[in-house]
């Protein structure tokens, strides 16, 4: 098995972390679940101020920006385990599904976007809107994933099973061709799904054994909850965010500090307007 990969750099592991991936060999063995319902009053205020400046933003743009920034400042989240070895990704990439039209029959495609890590919500919005409009356009060209799937779709079933098994073998042994890695949504830092756009709450979505995705984030719809403030019951708007993560990529303390940082960005989203801003513990 080759130690070098085209999408990541080998990381020296602590003795315990050398053993853990041998016990939990697949990501499905190592999934941990975390859910938090957060107030969106600070996000709403941030969106309102931006709107006064002529900039329209949505929750998704701010959450994406917070996730990307957290991975940039806490790079331990941007790691993956392959065949018992730990690698740090060479870039920050986020995969998502795009419905070309909102109907039961509407086609769905998967796309992957690269980020530097210090993008502001406005920059994220521009990238996302450009990509989504391109995918929804009937005249748009196939993205890398669609082109790969169309090639595979031409292969007979009996041979396709062997091809997929062979691709999995290549991936496990660090021999996957880079064009496949580039096209595959399963080879990314994180997968994000916006369930709120479908009108439902956040779900716990499994992470895949194939590929390198170590975090799956689901964004839920807006809700309301009651809380006590200075002896009075008040109503506040909330959304629920649900994470499924591979516990093998970093220790629990590191995960906790990274999640705290992520949620602090959402409590004070104006921090995301500052390039390379990192919240100190």
The domain segmentation of the chain, as residue ranges, is 8-273
Edge-to-edge strand list for the sheet holding 8-10? 8-10, 85-89, 79-82
Average pLDDT value for residue range 105-109: 67
Structure tokens at 103: 């109907």
pLDDT grade for 219, boundaries at 50, 70 and 90: very high
Using one digit for the tens of pLDDT, what is the confidence trace for 252-275?
A: 999 999 999 999 999 999 999 987
Could you tell me where the DSSP H helices lie in the chain?
A: 15-23, 41-52, 59-73, 121-136, 144-153, 157-172, 178-183, 252-267
Identify any residues that bridge with 237 across adjacent strands, giving them in sequence order. Answer: 224
- Kindly report the length of the chain: 281
**Cβ atoms of residues 33 and 200 within 8 Å:** no
Using one digit for the tens of pLDDT, what is the confidence trace for 35-77?
A: 999 999 999 999 999 999 999 999 999 999 999 999 999 999 9
User: What is the rounded CA–CA span in Å between residue 80 and residue 33?
Assistant: 17
Q: Please name the helix (run of DSSP H) or strand (run of DSSP E) that holds residue 98, with its range, or none.
A: strand 92-99
In the CATH scheme, what is the code of domain 8-273? 3.30.559.10
Using one digit for the tens of pLDDT, what is the confidence trace for 127-157?
A: 988 887 777 765 556 677 778 788 888 888 9
């Amino acid at each position: 098995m080759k130690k070098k990969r085209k999408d990541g750099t080998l990381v020296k592991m602590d003795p315990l972390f050398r053993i853990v991936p041998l016990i939990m060999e697949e990501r499905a063995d190592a999934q941990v679940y975390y859910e938090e319902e957060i107030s969106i009053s600070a996000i709403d205020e941030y969106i309102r101020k931006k709107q006064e400046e002529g900039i329209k933003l949505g929750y998704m743009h701010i959450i994406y920006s917070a996730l990307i920034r957290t991975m940039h400042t806490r790079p331990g989240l941007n790691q993956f385990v392959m065949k018992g070895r730990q690698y740090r990704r060479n870039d920050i990439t986020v995969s998502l599904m795009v419905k070309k039209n909102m109907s039961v029959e509407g086609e769905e495609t998967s796309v992957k976007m690269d980020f530097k890590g210090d993008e502001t919500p406005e920059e994220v919005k521009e990238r996302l809107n450009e990509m989504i409009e391109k995918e929804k356009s009937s005249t748009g060209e196939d993205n890398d994933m669609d082109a790969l799937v169309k090639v595979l779709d031409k292969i007979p079933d009996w041979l396709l099973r062997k091809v997929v098994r062979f691709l999995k073998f290549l991936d496990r042994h660090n021999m996957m061709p880079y064009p496949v890695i580039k096209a595959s949504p399963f080879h990314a830092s994180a997968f994000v799904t916006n369930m709120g756009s479908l009108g439902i709450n956040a779900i716990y979505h499994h992470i895949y054994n194939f590929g390198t995705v170590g975090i799956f984030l689901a964004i839920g719809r807006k809700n309301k909850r009651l809380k006590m403030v200075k002896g009075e019951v008040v109503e506040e708007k909330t959304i629920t965010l649900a994470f499924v993560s591979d516990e093998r990529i970093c220790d629990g303390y590191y995960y906790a500090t990274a999640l705290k940082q992520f949620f602090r960005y959402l409590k004070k989203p104006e921090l995301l307007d500052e390039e390379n801003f990192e919240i100190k513990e």
